[in-house]
Structure 1
């Protein structure tokens, strides 16, 4: 079952980071970005945060399960969706620990025709 658009809108509203939080559809599911860094995935209407020291500190008790068949277990933050302060703090702390996004490659210059 793919994630509903209403659910991803609800998640973004609950995290309440405005334009700092973006999401992109990937393979029928979504990746969540804070300041252009991937911090979580939304799969089957559940939010899976990337494992990090922030999760160990702020969400050690969170349940874990794979976001899709064959994936490793990720902490599931669904129980924090009703606690805007807690989920926002976890997302911000996770983003702070993630590497900066790689610079995008410039578009290749068009080839000149052979004479």
Structure 2
């Protein structure tokens, strides 16, 4: 099952305090970026964050986004300020995007 555009818009509204949020549609799901750094995604209408220490401090429910993937953390809050603070704390703990040749 793929994620709906309506759910994407709902999550983008929650991310309005995150610095430079963008997304990329991939195989019916959405990858979420801040300043070009991948921090999470929308999978089957579930908002998931990469499992790094900063995200684990706020969210602890693990979910597998798709078969064979590493578990991610389910965002169970509708507080834009909390979500922005978590994403901001996550960014230094995530790898920078690889340069394309």
The two structures share one fold, judged by TM-score above 0.5: yes
Aligned match of 2:47: 47
Structure 2 contact 62–71 (Cα < 8 Å) conserved: yes
Aligned match of 2:98: 102
Aligned match of 2:38: 38
Give the whole-Å Cα distance in 2 for the aligned partners of 1:100 and 1:93: 14
1:16-27 paired onto structure 2 within 5 Å: 16-17=16-17, 20-27=20-27
Q: CA RMSD in A?
A: 1.6
Q: Any stretches of 5+ residues in structure 1 without a counterpart?
A: 106-115
TM-score, normalised with respect to structure 2 = 0.89
Number of matched pairs: 101
Which of 57, 61, 64 is the matching residue for 2:62? 64
Give the whole-Å Cα distance in 1 for the aligned partners of 2:51 and 2:86: 11
The CA deviation at 1:72 is 2.6
1:83-98 paired onto structure 2 within 5 Å: 83-98=79-94
Specify the structure having the higher radius of gyration (Cα).
Answer: 1
Q: Any stretches of 5+ residues in structure 2 without a counterpart?
A: none
3-state secondary structure, aligned to 1:48: strand
Structure 2 contact 55–87 (Cα < 8 Å) conserved: no
Q: Larger strand proportion, structure 1 or 2?
A: 2
TM-score, normalised with respect to structure 1 = 0.79
Following TM superposition, the consecutive aligned residue runs of length 4 or more in structure 1 with deviations greater than 6 angstroms are none
